[in-house]
Structure 1
Amino acid sequence: MGEGAENIFQKVINRVRYGLCHKLYQDRDPSVLKRSEEIEQFFDVTVEMLCIANTDGYFTRLNPAWEQVLGWTSQELMEKKFLEFVHPDDRDITNQAIAKLAGQQKVVNFLNRYLCRDGTYKWLEWRGTPVNNTIYAAAQDITERRNIESALIGKNNILDAISYAATNLMTSLSDETIQEVLSKFGKAVGATRSYIFTHSYAPDGRSLVSIRYEWVKEGIPPQADNPVLQDVDWVNQGYKRWAEDLKKGRTIYGNPHNFPVEEQQFLLENRVNSMAIIPIFSHKEFFGFLGFTDRADGQEWDDVELETLGAAAGLLGAAFERRKAEEEIKIRGDNLQAFFDTIEDFLFVINRDWVIEQVNGTVIRRLRYEKNELVGKSAFIIHPPSRYKDVEEIQKEILRGNCEFCQIPLITKDGKIIQVETKIISGTWNGNPVLFVVSKDITEISLSEEKFSKAFQASGSLMAILSVTGGYIDVNRSFLDVLGYKQEEVIGKMAADLDLSFHYEDREAIWSEVKRTGSIRNKKIQLKTKDNKVITGILSADIIWIHDNEALLVVINDVTEITRLSDALLSANKKLNLLSSITRHDILNQVQALFFLGEFLKDKVSQDSQGRSDLEKLLRAVETIHRQILFTRDYQDLGITAPAWMNVESVITREKGNKIFSDISINVTTGSLEIFADPMFSKVCYNLLENSLRHGEHVTEIRVSFYESKEGGLLVFEDNGAGVPASEKKRIFNQGIGKNTGLGLFLTAEILSITGISIQETGEEGKGARFEISIPAEGFRYG
């Protein structure tokens, strides 16, 4: 309140105090009346908000400045207690000021906020003087000054927060530090909530944001654990504008009521009245954003504040960038250490003075030292004392750069010798030149080489090791004995020089396949001995490595005699089959004659005679002979042809094409399954399908499926028929059991057994038959 106005009020108060006002109206003194009119005019025209109130809390008089500042009429302001116009947060201190005035004390520089007609509040600064129960006061609108001061304080607070962030984020990148930085920024701008959202991409490329850090003012519920704010697909949830603008470095701010409709719902549901979103970049990539919501008093954001907060976001981006780099360095360091300690070879870092700088876990574990017993000690400690002289010589050669490899053994703390091959490489460790020493334990390798050498020489198979160019490096005794050569006649020669193979193109094909796949298996070949005898062999070969050099290990099993016997057996079987075929044809001719004779005799013998009954028995016997002879034709090739891989689904598909299965559903779910079986496996499938049809009584569906287990595979044929009685489950695979020839299931089991496959019936009577075919693990595959 101005000094002149204060003097005038003081004069008014004095006049009231001494009763001059009363005299003014009684005596009508012209000079006094003139002075009163002057005061009234001043009361009406002054910009100061002058008032008279009582200690009951009501205004009794107001000058026009009140309506100009607050928008309320004097009548409206005087109808209610003036405390109703005071901001709720300021009512307690206002009551305290009224109590002070009621106690006849002056109130100077008192501040509170008054409600305007448009719903806003303005800051008023008061000076008041009491006269008994009357209060004379003047107020001044300081809202603009207050906002300026608040803005300056806010900017200073923001700068202080940035200073704190700059100092602390560069020294500590813990989550606690980031939380404290958010707290300082939130308080500096007068927000109720400050937060950081991080950005990521989903596997399908969608842009996602998640809340990661948050500070909230006391009494405000946090949202950091809200699952709705994790992995938010913001582009597809109405915030495409945010994603595009923020990724371009633009700031989003303002009142959500002024945002596009699609952005308003979530914000208004959560009662967000104002907000500012500032992008954060790390490694020039969009990292996420720094956000603030609901500033006190609805204060709007100005450009200077937003620019300052942009600098804060830059600090955060730099901090996250640094933390990411440090995390990557730590991960690399941890990975390197883990790799260093996981390697089964002995790893040493030795300086130029031959002192151990570092060792890996294998050294500690295998040499049985504590780490501090090796690090800082001479590297001589890890070698047998008897080899120290050799170590000294090799040390000199290594330091001269003339040696990178040695085979000096290591020694454990308790004196056990470990044979090793050692590689030495120069490098840098902690900025100093060192030697990286890698020692490989070759104890087992040496033992394996010894075992291989003994097995190589003792094997009854022809074995040879050849270079990749075809030259013989080594051969075993069986190779020399069978082919009739001496060691010196073979070693160093090319395979082509000995001309062992009949066909040059076969030899080239073998070499080509080995080079392409690394191995070859069970290739039938023919070889010539030194004296030109012919040998049949089964060849297998693998690429092997000998002292880092590629070589070829060839194994040939001599099957000359087996092949000869097999050919002879096959020839004999063919002759037996021919004889069987001729005999069967002759028997069938005689059986056919018996059928004709039987039909002829039926006309000669009366229906009710004993002879007619005997004739019927005879014809049934002939029919049985006929079926069994036909049955032997189907199985005459059993076991003659070598087993092969057969696709189960293809075999069953062919068999179910038979017209006898046209009225039932046959479902096969074996896919590309192949089993190794006798070629008569197709007869197995037919027998099982036909068995269901013949004995199932009311079968309408047959299902064929396959299951794998630890023991192997299980091929299942099951139907929805009558099933098999428990007493018959094992007997049905016996010879002569059955309603037809009595051989179907017996021969089915025999065909399967050729390749180690077994069969059993496990169904439940009344619910259908279930035949389970058990196949060894090596007996099935997927084509």
Structure 2
Amino acid sequence: MSSDQAILREVLAFLPLWLVLFAALASGAAVFLGLRLRAARMDFAARQRDCRELEQLFTFSLDMLCSLGPDGRFVRLNPAWEHTLGYRQEDLAGRRYDELIHPDDLSAVRRAADRLRGELSVAVFVCRMRRKDGAWRWIEWNAQPRDGVVVAAARDATDRLESLAALRESEERFRSLLDNVEAVSVQGYGPDGTVEYWNKASEVIYGYTRQEALGRNLTDLIIPPAMRDEVRAAVAHMASTGQPIPASELDLVRKDGSTAQVFSSHAVVQTARGNTALFCIDVDLGPLKDAQAALRESEERFRQLVECAGDALYLTDMEGRLVEVNSEAERQTGRPREELLGMSITDLDLGRDDENLAQFTRDIRENRLAVFETRMRHRQGHDFPVEVRVVHMERGGQGYMLGSARDITRRKRAEEVLTEANRTLTAILESVPSEVNVVDVRTREILFMNQAMKEAFGRDHTGEVCHKAFRSCEAPCAKCDMDILVAQDGAASAPRLWEDYNPVSGRWYLNHDRVVRWFDGRLVRVQMSLDVTARKAVEERMAASLKEKEVLLAEVHHRVKNNLQIISSLLSLQAESLEHPQALDVLAESQGRVASMAMIHEQLYSTHDFGRIEAGDYLERLLPRLAQSYRQGRDIRLDTALDTVPLTLDQAIPFGLIVNELATNAFKHGLRDAARGRLRVSLTRRDGEAELTVEDDGAGLPGGFTLDGASTLGLRLVASLADQLRGTVSARGGDGSTVFTLRFPLAEEDGR
């Protein structure tokens, strides 16, 4: 047997064993594969079930679920998107997410997306997204990357965020309210008394600023030392039990040591974090205490006022029973208070009985006020007149009548006297020769005419309009003074006296007009007219005669001025025949004196005031003429300061001569050798005197000069003329100046 056969026999010998083993293995593999297939089928079914559940969750979730591709475009969205923002799957599929983001939030969202691609595994953010209808909603996002896409869940947070914002705003308003309320002090503090809150009212009431109070113990700040242990124990008890300290009035301490009267209440608040916050709310009672004191003082003053009132005060119920009276009511009726309080008002008021009292109470309820006159009964039996004012009032739901009664006995007597006086006055007005009328200022109605006026106008025009009756005019007269006689505030102004010709009566009248209150209170014009027709005729004749005399006097002054000018001309002619310098100076001085007098007469007839001249105007004409005569080519400046000073004719001529002499003396002597110089003349009026000053800046006065010892005719003439004016003249000077001063009383002040 060959080796091959041996091997074959060995193989054949083991072949059943391999077959059995293979069959066993095949059977085991089949079982194993069957088990794995069953497990795979079960896992697949579970996965399908999970997918269905996830799909249902995706579909029915109230949160918005979506997936986005790497490019930020929507891949899939659940139905919650349509419910929340109005978009369907087909509306947003393929669109970028940032198309829906509010422009103000876009940069922040993009930064979150960039970080999600980088270091973040989850991004949580909030942004505004546009609804399909254009409205914006706050959306809260939770996004994470997964297998190349971004899956995200979002929900509408608008209502929650708006609620939070409203809550923060409410808290801010509440805090602002607490911070700024002026009358209520609020302090917040912990269980150990450490101050954690201090509003502005606390600063005002206690004097500590917020910075000073925060962190300090409340008891050390405002609690008096004697109360601190008790307050600390009460605070600890309040913090441990949550029971606030009972509200009460307390006297606490301010920073400056003064007492703060407050009404203090407390509150225990548990915060959201579980902490206990204690609050003390203090109301400053200082103003209230002051107001109560002021009210008590006011009540006392009112009580004294009622007791001291000049009118009797009666307080009755609506049935007329007296419930309160003042001391004046006791005095008027002669009855004590105790007796009056048991009586009815009908026992005192003679005009009131039970029947009309009932009607009166009904009327006072409706009208609230009544004013009338009646008579009251005195205890001794007599009665007296009173003026009563009654008002309806309520107190505690009960109606009352408060009446004030004023004793008018004296007024009634005065009215009787006035009535009699009016009758007497009317009789007097009817008998006077002057024409008297009374006219209503507003309506122009004639209210009264006396007998003389009725006779002058032919009949009684009472009741008619004044401008028609007295002037035959359809409208108020152009000369009517009624509006002038009434001031802007409606009161009467000063009386007016005026003359006028009346075309109706054909007479001249001197009218005295005055506005007064008529007996009924309206404003009236009272006019008393005196017939001055005869006097006017005499005045016209006198005026004509005076005019003739004025013309004659003007002609006299004109002729005097002309004669003086003739004299001046004669002196000038005489000077032409002389060669001696001294003689020529004498004639020139005489010409100046004559010209000064002529100028006075010229001013008198040119101004038509033959008794006075105005000295300032006179000097304004005289001085330039003198300066022109004596300058002779030199630079001599003339300065004047002249007040308005009236002079009589008796004063004017010596005054003019004095000015002429002093100015001539300055030009001829003071400024004789000066190529340049100044002459200053001033005239002032003070305390009834006139003061003339003539000053030059020339050579000055010689040594030892006095007016009494003056050698020139001009200065001797000045002294003599000053005596004529009853004045004084003085001279002073030195190197470079000379001043002459004339003072004299003015005629109007001197009594002439």
TM-score with structure 2 setting the length: 0.40
Greater radius of gyration (CA): 2
TM-score (norm: length of structure 1): 0.39
